[in-house]
Amino acid sequence: MNKRHSKPERQAMPRRKRRLAAFAIGLALGGGTAMAAEIRLNNLDVESGGGLDDPAPASPIGGNPGRTRGEQARIVFEYAASLWGAVLKSEVPIAIDASFSTDAHECQPEGGSLGHAMPMKMWRFQPGAQPAGARADTLYHVALANALAGKDVDPGGADVLMRFNGAIGSSGCMEALQWYFGLDGNTPANQANFLNVVMHELAHGLGFSAFNDLAKGEASMEDGVAVHDIYSIHVYDNVLRKYWHQMSSGERVSAAVNDGHLVFAGPHLKAHARLRLAEYKRTHTAGAPGMAGQAHAGLDPTGNVLLYAPRTLASSSFTHFDPRVSPDPLMQPFELAGLKAHLDLDLTPSLLQDLGWQLHAAGQKLGSCDTGVPSWTPGGAITGANIVATAKLLARTSASVDDYAAAIRAHAASLEKEGRLTAQQASSLRPCLSPTETARQYARWHRNVDAKPLVQAGEHDLPDHPDAADSED
């Protein structure tokens, strides 16, 4: 189980029932991109009158047009699903059970849990039966196992459970904090960006998490045999000079708190970290003596990215980037208001790529029109994904095709003004925003014609899950 906190704490998940309904269906890319991931979200709060069903009035904010608190929260979920769906490739839809409830969360007046996520199942491929790119006798998050296998290895169930704290700002629960439901990354002071937290937790549910007992140095046990997960086998201690699966239990106990020496040793992450930090150095340290070393904080001497391994074991240990990584990553253990996950996922996709996920780095399509803007760029930019996610939201919520066309063109102009689009990309995008193409996009997405219910309303049990120090946030 993974949690995002205003400060690290722990909690076991209780068993409870919720009415279940589907929302945000049909978020796959259009235009024949069969490998793009379709993320389907199932609303666990339906008919509850709270959370994602909260009718409290709200004013549109930061690009979120919702008119109630529940609608705004649902739009954030939809937008996050569309962003990740544009970045990842999978022939199998990814099913997410989602809740924004006010119960079953850690709450104190000054701290507590923002949210948590976990895969609904871990999958192990048998020797000789593993698909290309997968390891046998290794635990995979089920959504990734589906993507690797090209089929649903566990039909009928959700792949990820995500629950977020709807009680923030109420009496006794992080009273000075409020959720920000805007989609623009302009998070006000004393607010937590709901989109950033959803993007963070979804990454955990898709693979950025592990299943060990860090206090005992033990891996998961299956049929009496220790089985390592795909995340953990990439973890390396550069003092012991051993990978996690090569260590003894005692060595793992020490490595988990070996601050500054526990790293994620994946080739994609390492290569893309150099690209990202070189760009950061170029843009942030020019003419600033003594800053060059700081620009590369968060890497070990060989260029591997540090993992969070404080000397006292914490609930967020092992499954996050170290807070010293610069610029600030989405997957560090604490919520940071300055993150802009709607435009940049930093090194998170690169780590998922090392786990086995395929990423969509080609030109993003709007319907059948190729914008020429990459969905994802090594180093983290997701400008193409942002364009399609925004286009779908605007098309669904605009009153007319003319309103939609004006809004998506204005969004493209703002991306170019901010330097998110090169002149060449802006030029290649322009034909996809013509009257003919915007009319096609509006017709396709305004009524959400791609919607295909994944799960009908009905009773649904949330699973019991043991508390685990290494897999919480």
**110-147 pLDDT per residue, tens:** 888 899 999 999 999 999 999 999 999 999 999 999 99
Question: Is the same domain home to 293 and 371?
Answer: no
For helices 383-397 and 69-87, what crossing angle results, to 10°? 140
Is 221 among the domain residues? Answer: no
| pTM (predicted TM-score) | 0.88
Is 215 among the domain residues? Answer: no
What pLDDT is attached to residue 468? 29
Question: Is the same domain home to 307 and 403?
Answer: no
Is 63 among the domain residues? Answer: yes
Question: Is the same domain home to 316 and 391?
Answer: no
Q: Structural domain tally of the chain?
A: 3
Question: Is the same domain home to 58 and 152?
Answer: yes
Is 222 among the domain residues? Answer: no
What pLDDT is attached to residue 1? 46
Is 405 among the domain residues? Answer: yes
Question: Is the same domain home to 203 and 326?
Answer: no
The model's pLDDT over 10-36, given as tens digits with 9 standing for 90+, comes to 222 222 222 233 333 233 333 334 478
Percent helix, strand, coil in the chain, to 5, is 30, 20, 50
Which has the higher per-residue pLDDT, 270 or 288? 270
> Is pLDDT at 420 greater than 60 in this prediction?
yes
174 Rama class: left (phi>0) / alpha (psi -120 to 50) / beta:
left
What pLDDT is attached to residue 103? 75
Neighbour-count burial of 288, counting CB atoms closer than 10 A to its CB (0-12 exposed, 13-18 middle, 19+ buried)? exposed
pLDDT bucket at 101, cuts 50 / 70 / 90? confident
Helix (DSSP H) and strand (DSSP E) numbers for the chain: 11, 23
Mean pLDDT of 251-271: 98
Question: Is the same domain home to 36 and 53?
Answer: yes
Question: Is the same domain home to 430 and 457?
Answer: no
Domain edge (last residue) among 344, 375, 396: 344
What pLDDT is attached to residue 137? 95
Q: What are 237's strand-pairing partners?
A: 242, 262
pLDDT bucket at 285, cuts 50 / 70 / 90? low
State the virtual CA torsion across 433, 340, 181, 3 in degrees, nearest 10.
Answer: 130
Asked if 353 and 344 count as a contact pair (C-beta separation under 8 A), the reply is no
The model's pLDDT over 194-218, given as tens digits with 9 standing for 90+, comes to 999 999 999 999 999 999 999 999 9
Is 287 among the domain residues? Answer: yes
Is 192 among the domain residues? Answer: yes
Domain ranges, residue 298: 231-344
Is 57 among the domain residues? Answer: yes
